[in-house]
Structure 1
Amino acid sequence: MKSVIRNSIARGALAVALLGFPTMAAAQQAPTGQDDLAEGGDVNDEQEPDGPGQVDPYTIVVTAQGRTQSLADVPIAVSAVSGELLERSGTTDIRELNQVAPSLLVSSTGNEANGSARIRGIGTVGDNAGLESSVAVFIDGVYRSRSGNALSELGPIDRVEILRGPQGTLGGRNSTAGLINIYTAPPEFDFSGYGAFTYGNYDAMRIEGGINVPIGDTIAARVDGVYFERDGFYNDVTNGTDVNNRDRYLVRAQALFEPTADISFRLVADYSFKDEACCAATFVQTAFAPLARVSPGLDQFTRPEPAAPALTSTSNPIVPILLGLGQDPRALSQDTFNRDIYPTAGRSYQGETEDYGISGELNWTFGTTTLTSITGYREYSNFQGSDTDYTTVDLIYRAPNEFGGARAFETFTQEIRLNGSLFDDRLDWLVGGYYASESLRSQDNLRFGEDYGTFANCRIALAINPALANPSADNCFGPAIAFLDGTIGAPAFGPATPLIIAGINNLAQVRDLGGTGDVYDQQSDNFALFTHNIVHITDTIDLTLGLRYTNETKDFSATFGNDNTFCPANRALLSPLLQVQALAPLAGGLLALSCQGNSTSELDGVSLSDTRDEDEFTGTAVLSWQPNPDLLFYASYSRGYKAGGFNLDRSALSNPVTFNVNALDPTSLQFEEETVDAYELGFKYSTRPLSISVAAFRQEFTNFQLNTFNGSVFLVQNVNACGADLNGADRDASATTGACSPDDVEPGVVAEGIEIETTISPIPDLVGTFGITYANTTYQDNLIGNDTGAPLDPALRLLPGDNLSNAPEFTATSSLTWTPPIGNSGMSGLFFVNARVSDDYNTGSDLLFGKEQNAFILVNGRVGLVGPDRAWSVELWANNVFDVDYTQVAFNTPFVAPQQTYSAYLAEPRTYGVTVRGRF
């Protein structure tokens, strides 16, 4: 087996050795004195449940199948993480779940609203609000429109369930990769309260508190609040501020009404707000990506030679241009993980996020039937300014206002389920319906900066003759233009020379122009009918059958605002030259740079609209055998679905060179629904001291939805494979080669592997967990675009046969919790440590060389003293204990031609502090 696998195993062994115990991030609640119970699954213990219908207190309880069940009895791959483990691991939002779930990876890029969750290497890059998440997120049973909408403080958590593989046969929203169910701590019929204060480095301060009040015998109320502030991890040297700071708060109020033993109604209202600057990036340096750039003359997607100029060396032709336009040289010489940044003066990353909603859940049992109704209404809005090129040179930016990369969701959801049993409990049945109405508005004001025209002309000069480039001149040619216009020698382009020079001078004037307010509206209406039934064939053999019908309708409209008049001016000048073979490349380059991303006043005031309608059947079949209460075997098939939609980006309307405002087709913005066929074999063993679950899986994705940045614009494309050999046509530079017969289209992405999760608790105050995931998540050979057999976009020609981005083959997590009693004082100690080991992976969705992230290990730790009855505690903690440097995503520096320089969004450095808790 290849060396990377051997190295990964070695690193995993090292992580376990660091912990000193064989552990994993499965569902468990570590013991603390007499009140904490190790949840390791079904328990061989003489303690009986408290009464009829009660669950053994040592059992992990989940609702992954729409019913209350023991985790050990659920024949699907699911990780359940207790609130206790989340608290000790320092988890306050879904990104930090990475540390406790090996198959999960959550990352964010240029805006936290773009956060993306991946399970088994499958996820949706979140830079386009039109794409829904492959991993759905639910909080208290209510769907969050995108994964990034849940990147906020969570407050007190009861538990988190992470379901792996396609979901949707039960309730809620469809998803193709999995879902994250977050259950917040509910009201209780005991008077109690708590408070916690944390102070850490970067002047971090977190205050959390809440109170639970019973109101009579049938009503309980609870209020929780969190406030968190922290300085940013990046130092903006140019503007004298910091970026990636925290300034946020959350308030959640709940009421629980239980008039009888058969009726329960829970009402939840929450409001959260963030006023933060996010998200900065640094230049990728040679030490991080030594072979990131190709040598001149080589195909830009060929693996570079060792002699290629360094990314930020002046031997790289674009670097002197940047320096000549005012780029701070320190940004080009410092280490990749030096967090000093040098953006354009006056540009800001400031933004605001507001998220609020109300939901109600009714559970009513009558006879052997239970009715569950979950109703939710939510509003979410975000805007974020940015120096979008991440350089001192003013190339492109978003102003921090209501149009600055803004998005807003208004969502209403209603789910109704009925479940019960028939035929002397031989059939455990469930039927239900789901409705969701989502109004999405995406707005943008992306504009060219003051230096854009000069910089763009410098790219033209480099293409003609690098000796002509003079960034101190407005048009980057200055006196050298004489070599073109014939003042010195013959006109460079014959009779067309005056047109070329006029085009150059027009391009030079593209500065502080562009979007004045593009508005995209999308109305989505989704309804589904589903059934999920468990047939108890024998006392030990079950057959689970589920079926779901989904109808999705999306209505799209857009209105554009733009003041770039030099785009149509150059279109009028240069379009005739596109028919001249010798001049077409130069004329096309000038026109493309003048109208980059279809930023043109020709669109000003133009409106478009379109609609799409989908119908899809999905389902599941599971055969399981439980020979004894501690052991379960299962085999399953499931089909998942994620809706298609619209690319909310004008750049996808047309090639800017051939743009015709009178012939725009809004259907060019559509992308197709994504489907998956998934197969799984697994077993679970669960006793008091030891539990283990193993799942082997294969998932085949058709019309996989991919969003990638090519250095100029975002591309949204479905990815499939062709059964016939394309003879490398999917790897060339042509957008017209590599077509496939529609009858020969096959799944383009396949994920297969194995997951192992264990929990061990040899004594009551010691609990360890360990999990490892091997997921070979790859693009197939002979890739094509959508399922009509269209060729793959050439920007994606590194994809065939390679792993997906942010999809490490090996990942392991582990934890150790020790809570020893201290004499007879009633106090106890706390020692907690967890680790995540990740194999190598490429962080760029186009898989360009130089975006690879080497393997790394993250370790978090916490030690403390806990008072009698857990009335108080003092804890010292550290996250990323060894201050490991790694990137979330590396990308082509915008408008700095592909393969010239890269930038990267860095992950968080080491943080540490002290937390004091009290409760009554």
Structure 2
Amino acid sequence: MLCAANLPVLAHAQDAAASTDSSGGVDAFDYGNEIIVTASKRSQTLQDTPIAVSVASAAEIENAQIRDLIDLQSAVPSLRVSQLQSSANTNFIIRGFGNGANNAGIEPSVGVFIDGVYRSRSAAQIGDLPNLERVEVLRGPQSTLFGKNASAGVISIVTQKPQYDFGGSVEATYGNFDAITVKGNVTGPISDTAAFSIGGNYNRRDGYAYDVNLGTDVNDRNRWGLRGQLLFEPTDALSIRLIADYDKIDENCCIAGNVIAGPTVAITNALAGGPSVDANNPFSYRVYNNFLSTNEIENYGGSAQIDYDLGNLALTSITAYREVRADTNQDSDFTSADLIGQNSQQLGIDTWTQEVRLTSDFDGPVNFLVGGYYFNEKIDQKNDIRFGTHFRPYGDQLIRAASDNALNVAMLEGTLGALEGAPTKYVGSFFRAGDGLDEAYRMSNTAWSIFGTLDFEFTDRLMLTVGANYTKDRKRFATNVISNDVFSGVNLDAAAYTPFRQALLIGAGVDPATAAFLAANPTMTLPDGSSANPLAGLKAFQFLPPFLNLPNAVEDGRTNDSDLAYSARLSYELTDTVNVYATYATGFKASSVNLSRDSRPLAADLPAITSGGLRTPNLVAGSRFADPEESEVYEAGLKAQWSVAALNLAVFKQSIKGFQSNIFTGTGFALANAGKQSTFGIEFDGSVRPVRGLNLTLAMTYLDPKYDSFVNSAFGDISGTKPAGIADLSMSLGGTYTHEFAGGTRAIFHADYLYESPVRIVEGLQGIPQAVADSLKREVNQLNASFTVALTNGLEVGVWGRNLTNAQYLTTVFPAVAQSGSVSGYPSQPRTYGGTVRFKF
């Protein structure tokens, strides 16, 4: 199992105390050593680190065939990773808390750091890194050890430094779906005071799904990357580590299957001239689209880490600059009918960060860490969404169905134009192919923080650690969105249409006097809750209304947040092998900005917008941004390690006030703050070695989450309910057996099993009865295994399989785009297997 929190392996290959195998790497099966982690920004054993953290060593990542961060969840039960509609949209969730996908203006609640450098969006996090040393997953709010606040947790990825002994490895894998993966790295000395390393990776795979309409495989993989490092150590006190990397993704992703076929499927089938979806069968991996989705992503940058030893003080500086360029397009109606002809995005993210830390190492009872952090990011995003050739006849059928065939597109165009005195004004313009939205968004984010911790060692066994982080965060954002969706710009409440509304009411059996009154007061609500306007039902088809851009006279397009987060932790060494700790900590995440076509003024701003003459047709209230998240955790834990067994136990109550919820409604996303979301949880992981060579592990997480308060959700007041997608019980059970033959050859068998108890996938679905939405559940039963033979000359040959049980579950579901009553969902990946040859030298 990947979760190495209980395996006594040494994570630092450069430590002279580590035993090595014949290839020069760390021997993951030397039971005399301990895991060294830097979660506390100091090198400590895992047992001595009073933080809830899981650690995966490089050896375990190899044995478990962890291909990327998405696979990491199979061994860390508190972590959940979901890939959504593109390769650049991946959501990380720890202890049930997480967000950040689907909108570049939403910073994730789970922070991802690679070699100490913060990666602000998932497009910059998903590359296949060569030569990993370890992955640390820190659970709960992390503020006082990281300059960049993370309100839910941190994933810290550490790659191996350049070595002064020449060596490296090369690896090739072939698997089903014609999967080919090649990785390699080499490291060695340049001089007595300088070393280098360079690594590369190539990862391609045919699609595991089939597009019946286009006659081609889809959901393929095609990515490669390079990573180079230089290490300069001119003196014993000074170390300079330079890193540069480049990753490229160019693949077709991601399919959505049809979960519920609603009434619009009959329309899309007729328009497509045959099946437009594989109805009610999301796990057939047979989809119907009218153009291939594309994901072209470049992620590159560099960093410089300078460490200077001042004796009892250590100074660290990390400077980094990164760029992300993503160009995506998707047939987002997920049917072979040409409804959405284009839904593209060109995204550019430029990020510069600077961190400075000073850490003490005194013999006395008091030690400290103090640091400063600066973050500067610019986002430039352009989107285009266009109606396809079938959207006009599709819209016509929707209007006919909504009006019991009393209306159609051509009648509306002629009638509304005539009432405005221009009979041909709208002819042929409603739902016209090629019409839609041209979108442009810009955001600049500047943040800085001062953070630190102070350790008081009362006795050799009792320590108090307090910490604080003061953060200042400012964002400026602007939009330039232009709609040429003609029908969405029509005000169906306009006075000019009064005769038309009156005629419709009389035709529906309303007496003339009442009809005249209602037609003149179309915004009035009737006693049964319906609208007085007989055209009101058509407003649901005004998909892309005119956009009120900002900054404007009422909305300045700025946020300005500040916060003081703090923590207190008491740790006590009960014995030489058992430690306990208790923690109280807070965390913070600044406001997130709604950089999407669903950005709408706050309800409180509408009166000023109206009085200022800024109101656009069909403008409704929504959100421009979500207020900050403030997290809090109470936690108690126990860590123990003996010669043949180890365990970690944590009990916690964690909450986030103002959790930033971003829910898809079928035509867009609703960004809103939950009043408060809290979770009570218990985490356990342990290992035992009953005989030499055999290591058994078990990790379990129990979560009991709820919305303490969420009045303004996309589905109304859901206060007191359980958040969707968070399993009560997650468990990872694993075992590794190593047999060493005479002469040193080793055979290594590894297996791990992931279980997640059944859980409701979504809080609700627009246009779907709540009971039906509640019935959509996810349960995970996934088995992974590998068998490797390692020869004494550095050659390793192995076979592996992931999801050997071919577990099928929906990672998420959502209302089908502009298809009321239909539901789409992202299915899990099918079984994969293959063989690997690796040579270490």
- TM interval, short-chain normalised: 0.7 to 0.9
Q: How does 1:487-566 map to 2 (within 5 A)?
A: 509-515=430-436, 517-566=438-487
The separation in 2 between residues aligned to 1:650 and 1:915, in whole angstroms, is 46
Aligned residue-pair number? 788
> What is the match of residue 349 of structure 1?
293
Displacement, 1:797? Answer: 3.0
Q: 1:88 to 1:775 in 2, by over 3 A?
A: same
Is the contact between residue 111 and residue 278 of structure 1 (CA under 8 Å) also seen in structure 2?
yes
Q: Which amino acid aligns with 1:100?
A: A
Q: Which amino acid aligns with 2:190?
A: I
Mapped pair 1:26 → 2:1: no
Q: Which amino acid aligns with 2:236?
A: A
Is the contact between residue 503 and residue 574 of structure 1 (CA under 8 Å) also seen in structure 2?
no
> What is the match of residue 657 of structure 2?
702
Q: 1:798 to 1:448 in 2, by over 3 A?
A: farther
Which of 375, 393, 396 does residue 436 from structure 1 map onto?
Answer: 375
Q: 1:259 to 1:204 in 2, by over 3 A?
A: same
Q: 1:77 to 1:662 in 2, by over 3 A?
A: same
Which of 238, 252, 257 does residue 213 from structure 2 map onto?
Answer: 238
| 2:393 aligned counterpart, secondary structure | helix
The separation in 1 between residues aligned to 2:614 and 2:79, in whole angstroms, is 46
Is the contact between residue 282 and residue 905 of structure 1 (CA under 8 Å) also seen in structure 2?
yes
Q: 1:506 to 1:629 in 2, by over 3 A?
A: farther
> What is the match of residue 514 of structure 2?
none
CA deviation profile, 1:534-554 (whole Å, cap 9, x unmatched): 110111111010011000010
Displacement, 1:425? Answer: 2.2
Is the contact between residue 328 and residue 342 of structure 1 (CA under 8 Å) also seen in structure 2?
no
Mapped pair 1:805 → 2:724: yes
The separation in 2 between residues aligned to 1:512 and 1:334, in whole angstroms, is 29
| 1:651 aligned counterpart, secondary structure | coil
Is the contact between residue 597 and residue 712 of structure 1 (CA under 8 Å) also seen in structure 2?
no
Is the contact between residue 653 and residue 668 of structure 1 (CA under 8 Å) also seen in structure 2?
yes
Displacement, 1:153? Answer: 1.1
Which of 593, 599, 602 does residue 652 from structure 1 map onto?
Answer: 599
Q: Which amino acid aligns with 2:357?
A: R
The separation in 2 between residues aligned to 1:541 and 1:189, in whole angstroms, is 39
Q: Which amino acid aligns with 1:193?
A: G
Displacement, 1:172? Answer: 3.2
| 1:524 aligned counterpart, secondary structure | strand
Q: Which amino acid aligns with 1:706?
A: S
Is the contact between residue 627 and residue 673 of structure 2 (CA under 8 Å) also seen in structure 1?
yes
Displacement, 1:450? Answer: 2.3
> What is the match of residue 800 of structure 2?
877
The separation in 2 between residues aligned to 1:776 and 1:503, in whole angstroms, is 61
Unaligned runs of 5+ in 1: 1-18, 46-57, 285-310, 470-474, 486-494, 721-747, 785-791
Q: 1:552 to 1:376 in 2, by over 3 A?
A: same
> What is the match of residue 307 of structure 1?
none
The separation in 2 between residues aligned to 1:246 and 1:176, in whole angstroms, is 32
Q: Percent identity?
A: 31
Is the contact between residue 836 and residue 858 of structure 1 (CA under 8 Å) also seen in structure 2?
yes
The separation in 2 between residues aligned to 1:829 and 1:386, in whole angstroms, is 45
Q: How does 1:824-843 map to 2 (within 5 A)?
A: 824-843=742-761
The separation in 2 between residues aligned to 1:502 and 1:574, in whole angstroms, is 17
CA deviation profile, 1:61-87 (whole Å, cap 9, x unmatched): 111111111110111101111011111
Mapped pair 1:913 → 2:804: no
Mapped pair 1:678 → 2:633: yes
Q: How does 1:55-204 map to 2 (within 5 A)?
A: 58-204=33-179
> What is the match of residue 293 of structure 1?
none
| 2:819 aligned counterpart, secondary structure | coil
> What is the match of residue 504 of structure 2?
none
Which of 755, 758, 782 does residue 858 from structure 1 map onto?
Answer: 782
Q: Which amino acid aligns with 2:249?
A: K
Q: Which amino acid aligns with 1:319?
A: V
| 1:127 aligned counterpart, secondary structure | coil
| 2:574 aligned counterpart, secondary structure | strand
The separation in 1 between residues aligned to 2:91 and 2:177, in whole angstroms, is 26
CA deviation profile, 1:248-268 (whole Å, cap 9, x unmatched): 101000011122222221111
Displacement, 1:592? Answer: 4.4
Q: 1:642 to 1:217 in 2, by over 3 A?
A: same
Mapped pair 1:320 → 2:295: no
CA deviation profile, 1:163-193 (whole Å, cap 9, x unmatched): 0000121123111110000001221111112
Displacement, 1:243? Answer: 2.0
The separation in 1 between residues aligned to 2:622 and 2:728, in whole angstroms, is 37
Which of 555, 569, 576 does residue 629 from structure 1 map onto?
Answer: 576
Is the contact between residue 212 and residue 220 of structure 1 (CA under 8 Å) also seen in structure 2?
yes
The separation in 2 between residues aligned to 1:548 and 1:643, in whole angstroms, is 13
Q: How does 1:196-345 map to 2 (within 5 A)?
A: 196-284=171-259, 311-312=260-261, 316-326=262-272, 328-329=274-275, 331-333=277-279, 335-344=281-290
The separation in 2 between residues aligned to 1:503 and 1:697, in whole angstroms, is 67
> What is the match of residue 562 of structure 2?
615
Is the contact between residue 864 and residue 874 of structure 1 (CA under 8 Å) also seen in structure 2?
yes
Is the contact between residue 116 and residue 148 of structure 1 (CA under 8 Å) also seen in structure 2?
no
For the aligned residue pairs, the C-alpha RMSD in angstroms reads 3.2
The separation in 2 between residues aligned to 1:170 and 1:543, in whole angstroms, is 15
Mapped pair 1:587 → 2:587: no
Which of 311, 328, 335 does residue 391 from structure 1 map onto?
Answer: 335
Point out the more displaced range, 528-537 or 512-521. Answer: 512-521
| 1:456 aligned counterpart, secondary structure | helix
Q: Which amino acid aligns with 1:840?
A: P
The separation in 1 between residues aligned to 2:304 and 2:723, in whole angstroms, is 39
Q: 1:405 to 1:843 in 2, by over 3 A?
A: farther
Is the contact between residue 610 and residue 667 of structure 1 (CA under 8 Å) also seen in structure 2?
no
Displacement, 1:639? Answer: 0.6
Q: 1:875 to 1:38 in 2, by over 3 A?
A: closer
> What is the match of residue 818 of structure 1?
737
Which of 348, 372, 383 does residue 316 from structure 2 map onto?
Answer: 372
Is the contact between residue 26 and residue 771 of structure 1 (CA under 8 Å) also seen in structure 2?
no
The separation in 2 between residues aligned to 1:159 and 1:367, in whole angstroms, is 28
